[in-house]
Structure 1
């Protein structure tokens, strides 16, 4: 593997530095399918990064892999996940012992899972979820009343009524209330990093708007970094400083939100943008992306997007492009793409979706 990225974060540099990470799943005694290939990016303190792409492209697998929350059949099989702790020390999360990893999660990095109902224990009241979280992270000496007061403050931050929510069971709350309660729970110990997996899925438009506004407000207030996994390009454009486009388990383009959405350099990114109606400007007819992504066990040689790419050349079918920097900037804001033709002019939506 060759990268044009630095091998490790500089002093005072990234909060999260992901280098050449592969994530796979065991399907038999000796068989492993790699669902995420060679993921490489930096996330600085206070930054927000959106991971976008079609279903099955590896977004959730990568998010779970970063915190080693994969199911038993899953494993991070290669690469480094470097994290700058509150103490200033840089650790590779792949090397943390299980006990150290338990202390790390929620205290320094937390995750909001897709489907809040599945994330809560249905037989525990919301207040017990908060109390268990505090007690699991060495807050046993604090009185129950003090912990519940802190829990109430967190719920108020996400515009929920503590007196109504704390004594409730998860099923007694609406979908939007559960999602906001889960965000409050994730922020209970003031983590430096918050990973959100489709936090607005199955919510109505008004509730989605409320959740997005609260996330924006909380990030400005608490200054945590965020990885936002979504298929909604509108949410990505609104919440993220940076965007990473994933296809067939690989990051194929990364950059600032403005660069990726206004000057895309990978045909797949352009096709995604062209497949949804614009929010502003002239009304255009969306152009759906034809075909489907390859299965993780049957990736074609060369560029995985080549069979669907309207700009492909013969070399694309035999040479797999590396993610390389096209425009260098500070603090992880460089624009990079994995495309043999990325050095040319940026792609228009019309060109990227034209048959």
Structure 2
């Protein structure tokens, strides 16, 4: 496969810059529920960012919103989603017209959904999915079917699948792991600069998860695409991501390098998530469950949304909503930020982690 991207001599800036994005769902003619509040982050070329948090925290909504794949009642009423395209220009994805948006998807940015069986058309063979994708985005001379089949075979080999077995199969004739890898190959068909993956290994066994994660890491190194990885599995986030963003009640409440987040979390919610997972090394440790559940998005509490579940909360936490604050910046420019009124105080007390 010909990769249209070239390695720049210097970092020209973020590939994706999300600024103050709100995402809402219409619930009636004049009412709406905001599912994502004021999210901002940058993603640089070749970088991988994991979005973690409990179900219902807004991770998938944010991923869909980045490519304007929300359901019909979804909208992005505020913010900017700036993307640096292959030709060097910068576009706000929110302002792209229908035809320009259709061409943007797959050739510039693509998404791998959680359920591969739902993403594929069950009556079409895998080869037909590749054929439709290539032909829908052709801008020059239409390629012959044999050419497309050859390129599709190469893509399937990249994800360690046998093209002779897979191309002529229907989706239901493949195992879950094979379908998921075929979907990843399809997403990479047009050499996108950004790949968004929404829980791509949730329904798979551990060995298959391991194979897919390892191959994704290798492909990112080979093809130099950036990645947003949406997951509730902290182990996968630690393995695949350079940076991690913790989401809670529709807000990004902590961001940092993978090492910062897992070894020095500065938000009590992030620390509680990590403590709820059994460690893979060291002595026997009983995981601590996180009591309660996330608040309903239609009736968020005043102040910090996590305060009702936080053992470190004080009266001020229920009165004032914290903003994402940079706690420190590394020499390479990467920062660690948390939205907690007591983050510095708790760190000094050792109440989160050292």
For 1:278, the equivalent position in structure 2 comes to 279
Change (3 A) 1:160 1:194: same
- Offset of 1:333 from its aligned partner? 2.3
Change (3 A) 1:261 1:225: same
Q: What per-residue deviation string (whole Å, max 9, x for no partner) do you get for residues 128-154 of structure 1?
A: 100110011116611110111000000
For 1:259, the equivalent position in structure 2 comes to 260
Match of 2:291, SS state, is: coil
Does the Cα contact within 8 Å between 2:264 and 2:352 map onto a contact in 1? no
For 1:151, the equivalent position in structure 2 comes to 152
Unaligned runs of 5+ in 1: 1-10
Alpha-carbon distance between aligned partners in 2 of 1:136 and 1:240, rounded to the nearest angstrom? 32
For 1:18, the equivalent position in structure 2 comes to 18
- Offset of 1:22 from its aligned partner? 0.4
Q: Is 1:294 aligned with 2:295?
A: yes
Q: What per-residue deviation string (whole Å, max 9, x for no partner) do you get for residues 291-317 of structure 1?
A: 111000010000000000111111110
For 2:325, the equivalent position in structure 1 comes to 324
- Offset of 1:332 from its aligned partner? 6.5
- Offset of 1:206 from its aligned partner? 0.5
Alpha-carbon distance between aligned partners in 2 of 1:22 and 1:257, rounded to the nearest angstrom? 25
Alpha-carbon distance between aligned partners in 1 of 2:223 and 2:44, rounded to the nearest angstrom? 15
For 2:179, the equivalent position in structure 1 comes to 178
4+ runs deviating over 6 angstroms: none
Does the Cα contact within 8 Å between 2:249 and 2:305 map onto a contact in 1? yes
Matches within 5 A, 1:59-70: 59-70=59-70
Matches within 5 A, 1:1-355: 12-138=12-138, 141-329=142-330, 333-346=334-347, 351=351
Alpha-carbon distance between aligned partners in 2 of 1:347 and 1:268, rounded to the nearest angstrom? 17
Match of 1:177, SS state, is: helix
- Offset of 1:344 from its aligned partner? 2.8
TM-score of the superposed pair, with normalisation by structure 2 = 0.94
Alpha-carbon distance between aligned partners in 2 of 1:176 and 1:264, rounded to the nearest angstrom? 33
Change (3 A) 1:348 1:86: farther
What CA RMSD, in Å, does the superposition of the two structures yield over aligned residues?
1.7
For 1:3, the equivalent position in structure 2 comes to none
Does the Cα contact within 8 Å between 1:14 and 1:43 map onto a contact in 2? yes
TM-score of the superposed pair, with normalisation by structure 1 = 0.94
Q: What per-residue deviation string (whole Å, max 9, x for no partner) do you get for residues 156-199 of structure 1?
A: 00000000000100000000000000000000011000000000
Change (3 A) 1:332 1:249: farther
Change (3 A) 1:29 1:291: same
- Offset of 1:327 from its aligned partner? 1.1
